[in-house]
Amino acid sequence: MSLDELQRHYDSLGKSSRRGFLKGVAALAVTRPAVARARQNQANLAKRSILAYVGAYSSPQGPEGSKGNGQGIYLFQMNPSTGALSQRELFSNDSNPSWLAFDPSRTHLYAANETPTFQDSSSGSASAFSIDRSNGHLTLLNTVSSEGAGPAHLSVHPSGKYVLVANYAGGTVAVLPIGSNGELGPANDVKQVKGRVGPTRATSAPPGSFAVSGHDRPHAHMIQADPAGRFVLASDLGLDQILIWKFDIQKGTLSANDPASVPLPPGDGPRHFVFHPNGRWFYSLQEEGSTLVLFDYDATTGRLRAKQTISSLPKGFTGTNFTSEVMVSPDGKFVYAANRLHDSIAFFAVGEGGSLTFAGEAWTRGDYPRSFNIDPTGNFLYACNQRSDAITTFRINRETGNLTFTGQYTPVGTPAIIVFLT
């Protein structure tokens, strides 16, 4: 709304509205520069190439007992006009670097190596790399124990001082300190997740589902700090809970919050979650229940309050599905969720209070989308199709959320994750 439009709006109210007019002018003064900066940043990105890293399963002990067909971490160059990816380099790693995360400065990359053993211990590992910002080249700094078998996810604390790891097979979470050069140190804290596992069949699964995996013992699937870094949250698929800890940034340790967890329906299996850009809404994606649950998040207490549950599948679906990834569009208008076996990306419009409305779906043009990501311009979505050894590219309609396949298949053996360097 322009200044003239704002004045006409308040004049039309037919009563004294000088205070409202002045507030509106102040709001315009604050938001106009922010909007201008965001648009300029996207315009700048659109003029230059963007680098992307892809982590792939690369060992005979790949996902779900299958062999990994990848070779490690791949470096691609992205064309911001067409979305096309062209490979520039390969960093060999035969330990399943299935999850990647940057530090806040984007000068270091960290990888979760999803293996059952490391240096003769029953643990996976995490690796630290320095990034040559001029060309994206990675230099391995070190590799340390993740303090649990099969690390499926890691993230970097907002302070840039710690890497948080979720060990799926080991049922543990760990805090690894980051050294002055970006290398990883031995864990400051390790929590063995305990509790009663859920039933083998999901409460919310669609009719005819045989999705019964993951409820034999605790399985930490994702871990991430809240935007302020005061609390750390982790989803445990086996316990059907999201665990919440207070985080001591000085010591790098976790202590139970009150309450220490929030439950999801028995058997539904929370997998991944995401915060809305406003920090107040939190979306949890259930792997076996094929649902999204919206929570209100209290940043002062770390508490979650469930307020909506919606299926990740189209109305009337019957059969088996396993969800994988959930993301919010950069502008906060849409939530995207990946369905495996159904092989689709569903998208939802974000409404009042963060509520979701199913807006559509797109076939991933591949098999078993393990994850996906949206590029920094917000114009393209990339689906990592694990079982068809390819990444597929979609153009995003920023007004409707709709995904249109660009026709681009990028061959990568058993791709697990793609992240973008900006």
- The tens digit of pLDDT for each residue in 11-48 reads 444 433 444 444 444 444 444 454 445 555 655 655 56
* Average predicted confidence (pLDDT) for the chain: 91
Count CA atoms within 13 Å of residue 369 on its CB side: 29
Per-residue model confidence (pLDDT) at position 46: 55
Name residue, tokens 């989308």: 369
10 lies in the same domain as 128: no
Radius of gyration from C-alpha coordinates of the chain:
22
17 lies in the same domain as 96: no
180 lies in the same domain as 95: yes
User: Taking a C-beta distance cutoff of 8 angstroms, is the pair 284, 274 a contact?
Assistant: no
Query: Is the confidence at residue 138, as pLDDT, over 80?
Result: yes
Q: What percent of the chain has pLDDT over 70?
A: 89
d(CA 386, CA 3): 51
Across 341-402, the runs of DSSP E, i.e. the strands, are 344-350, 356-363, 369-374, 380-385, 390-396
Quick one: CA dihedral 388, 389, 395, 399, positive or negative? positive
3-state secondary structure 227-285: CCCCEEEEEECCCCEEEEEEEECCCCEEEEEEEEEEECCCCCCEEEEEECCCCCEEEEE
Which candidate, 82, 78, 124, 77, places its Cα nearest to that of 99? 124
348 lies in the same domain as 381: yes
328 lies in the same domain as 205: yes
- Give the residue numbers spanning the domain of 2: 1-47
Residues 320-373: tens digit of each pLDDT: 999 999 999 999 999 999 999 999 999 999 999 999 999 999 999 999 999 999
d(CA 57, CA 409): 18
d(CA 363, CA 343): 6
Per-residue model confidence (pLDDT) at position 43: 57
pLDDT confidence tier of residue 298, bands split at 50, 70 and 90: very high
Residues 150-194: tens digit of each pLDDT: 999 999 999 999 999 999 999 999 999 999 999 999 999 999 999
290 lies in the same domain as 241: yes
Residues 36-89: tens digit of each pLDDT: 455 556 556 555 679 999 999 999 888 887 889 999 999 999 999 999 999 999
d(CA 341, CA 356): 23
83 lies in the same domain as 222: yes
35 lies in the same domain as 114: no
Which candidate, 405, 275, 297, 404, places its Cα nearest to that of 350? 275
393 lies in the same domain as 352: yes
Q: What percent of the chain has pLDDT over 90?
A: 85
Q: State the average pLDDT over residues 267-293.
A: 98
β-bridge mates for residue 145, sequence order: 125
Query: Is the confidence at residue 131, as pLDDT, over 90?
Result: yes
The number of beta carbons lying within 10 Å of the beta carbon of residue 200 is: 14
96 lies in the same domain as 225: yes
Report how many domains make up the chain: 2
> In a 3-state reduction of DSSP, which class is residue 144?
strand
d(CA 391, CA 384): 5
Report DSSP state, residue 26.
Answer: H
21 lies in the same domain as 55: no
Q: Tokens at residue 167, please? A: 């060990």
